[in-house]
């Protein structure tokens, strides 16, 4: 695995224009900003307090960014020199998230894996938007989701990967793939169990990630601020630090927080179909509404069965 052995993951750009390792300064800044925004988006879903730096390594033949594996440590370059840039924080455990302890390195790697999952799923479903997507639980015990695209091809992914795709803003990866052209390919790798798992975006797929549609378009305009609603969906996650749970509703993940108490009271409702009652709360600048929970009816418990489909 050579230079990647001490990394959580990486992004890189390959092509003839990069054979000497040079990339336009403006494009470089855009890429780094895009990577920062993408990582922060998914890390914030688990812990909003984490701070980190991203080491940059430019190598002849490509331009790449590597994320070191050891928090507070360096990154070994191809020449064997340890750089001083590193990820912070050095704390071994920073928070409880999804009702489990997560280290800083685990949160970063989780974010990288989710970014990669968005790439993989987006390429599979093509232009189909999240709200039109059809999926089902393929393996309920292991939380494996199956998505069949318009060409009849099946993709099996984890439920966590599927949720990442549903909650990802349309243009989150725009800055990462904007440099892609006929002669430049974008690749993203994540190190899992000592192996490199890699996804790439070529010029043929670039348009899937660079939609020019208005990001601020309001979703579910019928859900007006202050309205009392009852929404049927699936409870997908719980975050004790932020005190929010996720409700999969019509192909999107809505953030919901209790009117009183902590989300831990709803731990038994995770991964179950439910009716969530509450007050609609619209946050300025957010396209999706939040729900202030007044009550949850767990339909799985009420029916005594298991929900095996997502739609």
Residue 192 belongs to what H/E stretch? strand 185-192
Percentage above 70 pLDDT, the chain: 76
pTM: 0.65
Residue 219 in domain: no
Residue 69 predicted with pLDDT over 80: no
Looking at the structure, tell me whether residues 272 and 191 fall in a common domain. no
Query: Average of pLDDT values for 13-35?
Result: 85
pLDDT greater than 50 at residue 73: no
Report phi then psi at 135, rounded to 5: -145, 165
**Mind listing the pLDDT tens digit for each residue in 125-178?**
987 766 667 788 778 777 898 998 888 899 999 988 998 998 888 789 999 999
Q: Establish if 308 belongs to a structural domain.
A: no
Is 309 a member of any domain? no
Instruction: Please indicate, yes or no, if residue 222 is contained in any of the structural domains.
Output: no
Per-residue confidence band for 123, with pLDDT thresholds at 50, 70 and 90: very high
Tell me which of 172-176, 214-218, 284-288 is least confident: 214-218
Question: Do residues 93 and 132 share a domain?
Answer: yes
- Do both 202 and 266 map to the same domain? no
What would the mean pLDDT of 180-200 be, rounded to a whole number? 90
Indicate whether 36 and 97 sit together in one domain.
Answer: yes
pLDDT at position 137, please?
A: 79
Assess whether 85 and 204 both reside in one domain. yes
pLDDT at 98 over 50: no
In a domain, 15, yes or no: yes
Residues 123 and 255 in one domain: no
Is 47 found in the same domain as 186? yes
Number of structural domains, the chain? 2
Residue 263 lies in a domain: yes
The domain that holds 294 is classified in CATH as 2.40.50.200
pLDDT at residue 278, as a whole number: 95
d(CA 16, CA 267): 52
Could you read off the pLDDT of 263-280 as tens digits, one per residue? 888 888 888 889 999 999
pLDDT at 259: 92
Average pLDDT, integer, range 243-253? 86
Q: Looking at per-residue confidence, does 214 or 83 come out higher? A: 214
Selection from 221, 261, 223 nearest residue 244 by Cα? 261
By residue range, what is the domain housing residue 55? 2-209
Residue 252 predicted with pLDDT over 60 = yes
pLDDT at 197 over 50: yes
Check residue 238 and give its pLDDT. Answer: 81
- Domain co-membership, 234 together with 179: no
Which DSSP string do the residues of 208-230 spell out, in sequence order? GG---S-TTPPS-TTS-TT-EEE
Q: Are residues 120 and 81 in the same domain?
A: yes
Q: Which residues pair with 139 in a beta bridge?
A: 144
Last residue of a domain, one of 150, 176, 209: 209
Instruction: List helix spans (H) across the chain.
Output: 25-44, 104-125, 159-167, 174-177, 299-303
């Amino acid at each position: 695995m050579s230079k990647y052995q001490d990394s959580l993951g990486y992004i890189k750009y390959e092509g003839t224009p990069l054979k000497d390792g040079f990339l336009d300064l403006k494009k470089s800044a855009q890429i780094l900003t895009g990577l920062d925004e993408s990582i922060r988006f998914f890390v914030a879903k688990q812990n909003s307090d984490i701070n980190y730096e991203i080491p940059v390594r430019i190598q002849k033949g490509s331009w790449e960014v590597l994320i070191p594996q050891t928090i507070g440590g360096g990154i070994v370059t191809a020449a064997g020199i340890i750089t001083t840039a590193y990820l912070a924080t050095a704390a071994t455990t920073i928070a409880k998230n999804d009702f489990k302890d997560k280290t800083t390195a685990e949160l970063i790697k989780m974010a990288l894996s989710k970014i990669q999952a968005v790439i993989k799923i987006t390429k599979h479903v093509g232009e189909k938007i999240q709200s039109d997507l059809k999926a089902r639980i393929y393996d309920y015990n292991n939380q494996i989701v199956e998505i069949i695209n318009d060409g009849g091809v099946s993709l099996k992914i984890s439920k966590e990967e599927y949720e990442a795709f549903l909650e990802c803003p349309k243009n989150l990866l725009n800055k990462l793939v904007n440099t892609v052209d006929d002669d430049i390919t974008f690749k993203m790798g994540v190190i899992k169990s000592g192996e490199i798992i890699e996804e790439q975006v070529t010029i043929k797929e670039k348009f899937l990630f660079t939609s020019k549609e208005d990001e601020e378009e309001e979703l579910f305009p019928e859900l007006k601020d202050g309205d009392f609603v009852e929404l049927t969906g699936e409870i997908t996650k719980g975050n004790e630090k932020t005190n929010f749970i996720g409700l999969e509703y019509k192909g999107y993940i809505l953030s919901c927080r209790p009117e009183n108490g902590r989300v831990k009271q709803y731990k038994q409702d995770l991964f179950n179909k439910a009716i969530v009652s509450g007050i609609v709360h619209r946050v300025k600048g957010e396209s999706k509404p939040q729900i202030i929970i007044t009550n949850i009816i767990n339909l799985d418990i009420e029916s005594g069965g298991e929900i095996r489909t997502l739609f």
